[in-house]
Chains A and B, each alone.
Chain A
Amino acid sequence: MATQHSRSAARLMMAPAVFLLLVWMLVPLSMTLWFSFRKYLPLRGGDLGWAGFDNYVRFVTSSAFWPSVMTTLIIVGGVLIITVVFGVLLAMLLDQPMWGQGVVRILVIAPFFVMPTVSALVWKNMFMDPTNGLFAHLWKFFGAEPVSWLSQASLESIIMIVSWQWLPFATLILLTAIQSLDSSQLEAAEIDGAKPVSRFYHIILPHLGRAITIVVLIQTIFLLSIFAEIFVTTGGAFGTKTLTYLIFQRVLESQNIGLGSAGGVYAIILANIVALFLMRIVGKNLDT
């Protein structure tokens, strides 16, 4: 029973976190909003006055805007699909009895510990380089023409790199969920003669629903803002410019803070649309 006393105590305990996050959100957000209505060009002398909605119009009418939104969604969607599908399969595999389970688990989760910059550099140079990369050697070994991964299959390559980094996270959460599955249920189904496929669809997958929701939600938050992987590999060329990257270009390369800030506001809107969308589809599972 929550008494009046414990309620106010609870509020007090929540206060620091809520207050800090409020400040952390409001201060940059209001500064971003302010800048987005200014003609702010640091290299031309700084704040040059009121700009009205110019920055917003210019950002959204630029030919790079809609492609960047699409690219963002493709990367987020692609990585989510790959990590969830392979995460489920991997989790089921790791749940099987085997020798050296602990070591295999270590191998599988290792990529999660690698800095995004490092993983992008390693993939770009040592694997995807069309001359010295390991893939090029492999392709040549089989008599095929080496692929210029980052220009010919740029988006796929980036999705692959990012998926490699996030697969361990998905696998870990899904694995914990699978391990909590009551095995007697599965055994009963097996005795009833249910095929493995139907066992998967009717028992395992529903049980994983909640874990998948968590994976999708957390990863989306991180994936919407991936940056290092693009900065290091393609620098936004070959159709890999995400909204975050476009804002980076406006802020740091074009040195147009006003325009970049307007882009930042669009990015927040996009993030919230995606979040809403997610809540609709998967939110039912998240009854916390």
Chain B
Amino acid sequence: MARAVTTQRKAINTAFAWGVGLLIFFPILWTILTSFKTEAQAISDPPVFLFFDWTLENYAVVQERSDYMRFLWNSIIIAGGSTILGVIIAVPAAWSMAFVPSPRTKDILLWMLSTKMLPAVGVLYPIYLLFIKLGWLDTQIGLVIVLMLINLPIIVWMLYTYFKEIPGEILEAARMDGATLKSEILYVLTPMAVPGIASTLLLNVILAWNEAFWTLNLTAAKAAPLTAFIASYSSPEGLFYAKLSAASVMAIAPILIMGWFSQKQLVRGLTFGAVK
């Protein structure tokens, strides 16, 4: 699509897009800046933007008060584990829905999505009691399973729409050549589906990372992820903007960095079948 564009037009586009982009990004930028201020500077009137005494004190205080690495590790295990487990279960389901559709396929898909509509807090007690019975309270495995179930419908749907884009003729050809079901999936489908699976993984890691109801309510000390870490900084006594900012940056930085590095995959695959 080599449309001729004047430099002037491009400059205007650039300026406008950068303006909008920075505006949207500003709250995050401001949080990052505030995390390097002292508490007094964080609320100074008028606010200081860049010209303050940069300090790492807040990060030191936060690290000293809570063992950041433990929370981070739990977040990684829970978000990563639930996503991988979810994809393992979802790939066969999505495959069969996409390539061997039955009249009920659409109903099953919509039903799966509808399981997400049960308000979490309404079932807190039932789930909590269940977790006690199973001994899953404050364990990584318990949260991995719950978050996997929460996101499974989205995973199935994303993969399904992605698999549907793969032309059926290729499969036919493979089958003609005598490929078994196993090799069909392994050698024909999977390579074609990798971008879709990658973006599914990414999206669900984000969703699981940010899930704040179950991860907070089903954990105590051992399995608590970064959402619980944030809950100990949210409104303490006294001035807290700078420390809250530091804790916030620590909580979102890993996922933000991951997202930035993989945004191409995310953009490519995040279609939900929206592109025909």
Contact = CB atoms under 8 A, between A and B. Distances in A.
Contacts of A125: 241, 244
A114 B252 contact: yes
A264 B227 contact: no
Contact of A117 (B5, B90, B112, B212): B212
A144 interface: no
A96 B118 contact: no
Contacts of A173: 270-272, 274
Interface stretch (A102-110, A148-156, A192-200): A102-110
B21 to A, nearest CB: 4
Contacts of B114: 271-272, 275
Interface string B256-276: 100110010011101111111
B181 A288 contact: no
The CB with the most chain A CB atoms within 10 A, among B97, B112, B272, is that of B272
B22 interface: yes
Contacts of B268: 176
28 contacts: A1-B172, A2-B100, A10-B95, A14-B108, A18-B108, A20-B89, A21-B149, A21-B152, A25-B115, A98-B14, A104-B21, A107-B25, A109-B259, A110-B260, A111-B24, A112-B259, A114-B252, A115-B209, A118-B230, A118-B248, A122-B30, A123-B27, A137-B46, A172-B267, A177-B274, A221-B116, A275-B110, A288-B109
A10 B99 contact: yes
A175 B256 CA distance: 20
Interface stretch (A29-37, A50-58, A77-85): A29-37
Instruction: Name A's interface SS.
Output: helix
Contacts, number: 289
B144 to A, nearest CB: 13
Interface in B119-175: 119-127, 129-130, 149, 152-154, 156, 160-161, 164, 172
What 4 pairs across the A-B complex have the smallest Cβ distances? A264-B122, A10-B96, A13-B92, A271-B117
Interface string A1-26: 11000110111011011101100110
A62 interface: no
